[in-house]
Each structure stands twice: as C-alpha cells, then as structure tokens.
A and B are shown apart, each in its own frame.
Chain A
Amino acid sequence: MRRAVVTGTATVAGIVLLLSLKPHDGPGNSTVAKVISSGTSPSAAASAPSSPSTATGSGSSPAAAPSPSASAASRVVTGNAIDTRYGPVQVRVTLDSGKITKVDVLQYPAESHRDREINTYALPELNQEALAAQNARIDAVSGATYTSDGYTRSLQSALDQAGLT
C-alpha cells in the first residue's frame, strides 16, 4: 500500500529571493515602529509612518471598496493593520501604473525576544517575496499563520484597496 514516493527537494520553486535585510538594528520598543523599505522607487514613502489607516476595516461593507482603476499612475495604498498573536502588522504599497514598486512595513510586533527572532527573519524576506509574488502572480497563500500571515493579509488588504488584478 505504500506507493508514496519520495522526490526530494527538487520540487522547491526557484521563485524565492533571499535578500537579507535587518529590521531590528535599533531598539524597537513599541509596536508602531520604523519604516522598512525595499523596492525600486526610493522617492515615495520616505516620510515617517502615517497613522494606521483603517479605511476599509472590518466595519465597512465590501461594496465600499474602491473600484478597480488599472490606469492610475503612482499610488500609495496603506493596508489594514492586522492583529496577530504577536501584535499588529501593517504594510503600505506603492504602485506605479498598477505594478508594485515598493513595500513599506509600517507596523510589526517588536515586544518580546521571540517576536524579534521571528520578525528579523520573516519580514525582509516577505518584503522581497511580495515583490516576487507580484511577478509570480500568486492568488493566495496556504499555510501561513500569525505573524507572517498577518503581513500577507495586510499586503492583501492593500491590494484589495488598490483593486489590483
């Protein structure tokens, strides 16, 4: 009955970029922390984090979301702050002609040592992956929970607001 087959690690996709950024160099003592940027458009979003935008938060109806507008030139869209087990996670994306050019992390949990370990590792890679995923055209992610899922969800909420396809 054991027809399960082992095919090793060769199935791993080559889509994952591993650029190592270190988000926790400074003493992050609160959950509303610094802006971590990556991308090709350094001019936008260099300012301090804006207060969390909850424009399309849980209270709003789905129909209230902005309608898709593929032709917009450069836009900055802030995702919902998503509560995770470790604290709120929130991102902001910059779009140029409908393509993601930049992802900023506005909030991430930074309170315990464990949070630090997780986030120094997770968020920069997610940041890169968000850019890669745009090219890979991922529709959804299976298996992510809590912190990185919160990040993914906040990114997704920004995409929701941008009406991206």
Chain B
Amino acid sequence: MTEPPVFRHAEPVMGTVFSFAIRRPGDTPGLGDVLRAVLARLHRIDEVFSTYRPDSQISRLERAELTLAQCDPEVAEVLARCREVAAETDGWFTDRPAGRLDPSGWVKGWAVEEASRALAAAGWTDHSVTGGGDVQTSGGPWRIGIAHPLRPGTLLTVLTGHDFAVATSGTAERGPHILDPHTGRPATGLASLTLTGRRLSRTDAWATAAFAMGPSRALAWAATRPGTEALAVLPDGTTRHTPGLSAYLAPGQH
C-alpha cells in the first residue's frame, strides 16, 4: 500500500516556527487557501497575546490601558483556561510566572491545537502541527521524535500514535527557565518532562506545571490523569515513565 504524499510547510510565528505535515489523499484541491487562513489566524493570535509586543492586547491589559471587556473575547477565555489549569495542577501552573501577566504557557499549545482543528474542519484530517517543539497530530500514524535533553540534537525515543498530542518541557538548551510557582525559583529536578494527551493546549500547559513539580510528584500526578502519560528524564540521564506510555513506543524499542 502506497502512502499518500505529505505536504510540508514551516511558518515563523510567535517567536518560533510552526511546522505542518499534511497527508493529502490524491489531488484534493484547496489546501493552499485553507493553510493561508490557518496561518493568518496564528499571526492574529500572536498579535493579541504576545508578551514581546508592547502593543499586544495582553501587554496593554497588563498596563491597564485596556479592560478585559475591551479585549478580544478570546483573551478572557484564555485567562479562564489558565485558571482552570492552575486548579487542575494544584497551583503548579500560573499565568503570572514572573509576576507579570503572561499566559504563554497556555497560548502556544492552544494555537497549535487551533491550527490542527481548523485543518481538520476543512477536511484535512490527517496531519501533524508542531509549534516550537510541541506537537498536535490528527489521524495517523504519526511518528514523533523526543529530543534528548542531555544530548542536544539526538533523539531519546520515538512515540507513535494517532490523534495524540506531545509536549516537552526541559532545561537543556534554555537553562533553568521554568519557575516553581510556590517558591519563585527555577525548577531543577528534571532534565525534561514529556507529556502525551489528546489535546495539546492542556497537555502543553500541564507539561509546564508537571516540570515544576519535579519527577516523583509529576509522574504520580500524571498517572492520575486519564489519557495522559509522562516520560521524565532526570538530570543524571535516568528515564522514568508512566506505564501507559508503552502504548506509544514502537515494538522493539523497549
């Protein structure tokens, strides 16, 4: 059986690059128009939510130049989702990580998920969308390499599945940059933490929170969340994962 060809596109946006891999059955027309609309939406999300743009609604909201009611309705929705994640993770997630309003921990994964959702709604149901190292797949199977946190440029393993999301938080290349919301100090108990789930917005935000928890708490917490699996790499290179992660590991890898 011949696999359908894959269309690929890489788009610099939101301070990183979003990559698309879309399997197209036959010569279905119209992908260009669909993708253009998806990309426009991503750039719009960046305009509204970027903390690096002084004129973004998030920046203006923080400076009290706008009220929440004056912002795009998606701002209130995103902030509500951030509060949910904070509650779900016992406060290990915050939309004010350094004391300033910064919902990026939710926004990037959500933007990837939105792009995936829009592609699927337009009929392009077999695809993978990646934003800065966090992945949402639809259809499949898709093979997602997990970067090795201690050996830059090499893969730790490969996860294979359908309709799944993969998010990784780590210190290897950016140094300790995820703060423990309870102490305000950088979390250092893990080299990287990968979570899998169905939808990237939550999976990504949860990965940030679980990284801050440290290995034991993160694995125990992930094991209690249905549909979520975790793969942790400790600073000494030891790996630990929840039992259900095995479903994503190709035969012969473990």
A residues with a Cβ closer than 8 A to B are 1-16, 18, 58, 61-63, 65, 68, 70, 80, 82, 85, 118, 121-123, 125-126, 129, 133, 136-149, 151, 153, 156-157, 159-160, 163-165
Evaluate whether A141 and B152 lie within 8 angstroms (CB atoms) in the complex, with A11-B253, A160-B10 already known.
no
A4 to B16, CA, bound (A): 33
Whether the Cβ atoms of B10 and A144 lie closer than 8 Å is no
Residues of A within 8 A of B156 (CB): 12-13
Whether the Cβ atoms of A16 and B10 lie closer than 8 Å is no
A118 to chain B, nearest CB (A): 6
Give the dominant DSSP class at B's interface.
strand
Chain B contact patch, size range: 35 or more
Evaluate whether A62 and B35 lie within 8 angstroms (CB atoms) in the complex, with A143-B147, A145-B174 already known.
yes
Residue of A nearest to B149 (CB): A143
Q: Please tell me if B194 contacts chain A, counting CB pairs below 8 Å.
A: yes
Whether the Cβ atoms of B219 and A4 lie closer than 8 Å is yes
B residues with a Cβ closer than 8 A to A are 3, 5-12, 16-17, 19, 21, 32-33, 35-36, 39, 128, 130, 132-135, 137, 142-149, 151-159, 166-168, 170, 173-174, 192, 194, 216, 219-220, 222-224, 230-231, 237-243, 249, 253-254
Q: A142: which of B166, B222, B241, B253 is its contact (CB, 8 Å)? A: B166
Whether the Cβ atoms of B142 and A139 lie closer than 8 Å is yes
Residue of B nearest to A14 (CB): B253
Residues of B within 8 A of A3 (CB): 220, 223, 243
> Tally of A-B residue pairs with Cβ under 8 A?
197
Residues of B within 8 A of A63 (CB): 32-33, 35-36
Residues of B within 8 A of A129 (CB): 153-155
B26 to chain A, nearest CB (A): 13
Show 22 A/B contacts (Cβ-Cβ < 8 Å), sorted by A.
Answer: A2-B220, A5-B241, A11-B241, A11-B254, A61-B36, A62-B39, A118-B173, A139-B6, A139-B137, A140-B135, A140-B144, A141-B144, A142-B147, A142-B159, A143-B146, A143-B149, A146-B173, A146-B174, A147-B173, A157-B10, A163-B5, A164-B6
